[in-house]
Amino acid sequence: MKEAIVLYPSPAIGHLISMVELGKLLLTHRPSLSIHILITNQAYDAGSTTAYIASVAATVPSISFHYFPATTLPPDFSTTSPHHETLALVLLRLNNPNVRHALTTISKNYVVHGLIIDFFCVAAVAIACELNIPCYYFFTSGAGYLNFFLYVPTLHDKFAKSLKDFDAPIDVPGTPPIPPSDVAKPMQDRYDEAYKGFLDSSLKMQTSAGIIVNTFEKLEPRAIRAILDGQCVPGGPTPPLYCIGPLISSREDDGGSPECLTWLDSQPRGSVVFLCFGSLGVFSGEQLKDIEMGLERSGQRFLWVVRSPTEDKNQKAATSTMPDLDLGSLLPEGFLERTKQRGLVVKKWAPQVAVLSHPSVGGFVTHCGWNSVLEAVRAGIPMLAWPLYAEQRHNRVLLVQEMRIALPVDESEDGSVSSEEVEKRVRQLMESEEGKMVRERALAVKEEAEAAQSSGGSSRSALTRLIESWKRE
């Protein structure tokens, strides 16, 4: 019988892309594998994945997608949790019958070496156990956040209060102390449903067949060492760890050369600041004006990806369809005209990997989503860290203090960023001695990333160990 691996991602596009790239990577080392990816409907509107899945299915025949029937919340469902992650965890749990059916069906024709799940898909651990299929976690963030995730049960047992109520930074093995306000919102309140779901996921991760992480040893040596030494699971054994990154998207969108790449061709080398905030990041109209004023006064060249604003200034992630406004109504009158010699604003999307790899780009203002971080690492581009949601504030601590490949963007008490801060930080990244230091560090890390993935490199060796472990079953 042929061999298979089943991948079960959270349905959000960022998580799905990472999982697909893992599937492609496995195929480069074991071409005989059949990769099966389970697709559920989304708990909230996180962007369509249809075109992306179609392109993968057309170009990589060894990857097949299994679409589950649409699952909806029961009519009597209610929750006091304000976090959209709660709905995602509930819907993924309701998909367990579909997971069982898919795994049973695939097992009739293949030897299934493992089910690899996203940490949102914790409910499927029980199905893998029931069917005697080894269950692995694929952690789509870095080792520094994995440390925290593994250590949460220890914190939960050690302290009777919620993380948001800590009056000092939280000590986690292998990372800088984390301010309580920088803990991901769904993890801050121990009585919240999302917190309970992620606590359960952490506990089950500790008993998994292994943890696959999208990072590499030279990027996060201290964090990785703490995990391997058992410091993050002091009460029991730590599963095998496989650091196989950096995995970044190889998706080619629409072909041709988008306007922004043509514009970059005409800019001086290393002169452009690229601002992009992921597939979900949104700002209020007031915040957009502050970014515009800061960019204009900074005097720097820029390429800025803009999404329509939210009316709720506290909303940082677009979890529903946003109105499609034209650029003229999004930005203050005269801004595009005044900055046309040194700036370009595009709506919604830019080919981020291609932009970051362009020789004209010299800095990246990012929301600190892990996919974006790794794309900057691969390109050797220093960052301004401006987190919005999920674990991104945690990532900022790691990027600035531990990896030293980013400078921080500081928020006001109300969570906004002033035009003065935007101006100061953009200039600092592009002109100052601190900017020069993170730039040099980013270039060094780029070389380390390439070495990790080369023959004999740490990530290549970790992948070999993972695949060899399937032979020993």
Angle at 206 between CA 203 and CA 211, to 5 degrees: 125
> Residue 251 has what pLDDT?
60
Q: Please give the C-alpha separations between residue 284 and each of 47, 287, 306, in angstroms, as whole numbers.
A: 19, 5, 11
> Residue 348 has what pLDDT?
81
Q: Residue 363, exposed/middle/buried by CB under 10 A (0-12, 13-18, 19+)?
A: buried
pLDDT-based confidence at residue 323 (cuts at 50, 70, 90): low
Residues 6+ apart with CB under 8 A from 436: none
Higher pLDDT: 49 or 63? It is 63
In CATH terms, 259-449 corresponds, of 1.20.1270.10, 3.90.1580.10, 1.10.490.10, 3.40.50.2000, to 3.40.50.2000
- Chain centroid to Cα 436, Å, comes to 26
Q: Does 28 score more than 90 pLDDT?
A: yes
Residues 6+ apart with CB under 8 A from 92: 10, 40, 120, 121, 122, 123, 124
> Residue 187 has what pLDDT?
97
Hey, do 2-247+454-471 and 259-449 end up sharing a CATH topology, with the first three levels equal? yes
In tens, the pLDDT along 96-131 reads: 999 999 999 999 999 999 999 999 999 999 999 999
Sheet holding 2-8, edge to edge: 63-67, 34-39, 2-8, 110-117, 135-139, 210-213, 241-243
pLDDT-based confidence at residue 253 (cuts at 50, 70, 90): low
Q: Does 47 score more than 80 pLDDT?
A: no
> Residue 235 has what pLDDT?
86
Nearest to 137 by CA among 61, 67, 196, 202: 202
- Chain centroid to Cα 156, Å, comes to 25
The label of the residue with tokens 């699971």 reads 233
Q: Residue 459, exposed/middle/buried by CB under 10 A (0-12, 13-18, 19+)?
A: buried
Average pLDDT over residues 375-394: 97
Assign 3-state DSSP to the chain and report helix, strand, coil percentages, each to 5: 45, 15, 40
Helix H segments across 343-418?
A: 352-356, 370-379, 392-397
> Residue 177 has what pLDDT?
98
Torsion of CA 436, 441, 447, 450, to 10 degrees: -120
> Taken in order 20, 26, 32, 33, is the CA torsion positive or negative?
negative
> Residue 33 has what pLDDT?
96
In tens, the pLDDT along 120-165 reads: 999 999 999 999 999 999 999 999 999 999 999 999 999 999 999 9
Q: Does 175 score more than 60 pLDDT?
A: yes
Average pLDDT over residues 177-199: 97
In tens, the pLDDT along 194-210 reads: 999 999 999 999 999 99
Q: Does 55 score more than 70 pLDDT?
A: yes
Phi-psi region for residue 210, left (φ > 0), alpha (ψ -120 to 50) or beta?
Answer: left
User: Under CATH, which number does the domain 2-247+454-471 receive?
Assistant: 3.40.50.2000
DSSP type of residue 357:
T
Domain positions in the chain: 2-247+454-471, 259-449
> Residue 471 has what pLDDT?
76
**What is the overall mean pLDDT for the chain?**
93
pLDDT-based confidence at residue 45 (cuts at 50, 70, 90): low
pLDDT-based confidence at residue 224 (cuts at 50, 70, 90): very high
Q: Residue 410, exposed/middle/buried by CB under 10 A (0-12, 13-18, 19+)?
A: exposed
Q: Report which secondary-structure segment, H or E, holds 39.
A: strand 34-39
pLDDT-based confidence at residue 252 (cuts at 50, 70, 90): low
> Residue 411 has what pLDDT?
94
The total of other beta-carbon atoms located within 10 Å of residue 465's CB is 14
pTM over 0.75: yes
> Residue 238 has what pLDDT?
96
Percent of the chain at pLDDT above 90?
80
In tens, the pLDDT along 334-348 reads: 888 898 889 999 988
CA pair distance 272, 362, nearest whole angstrom: 5
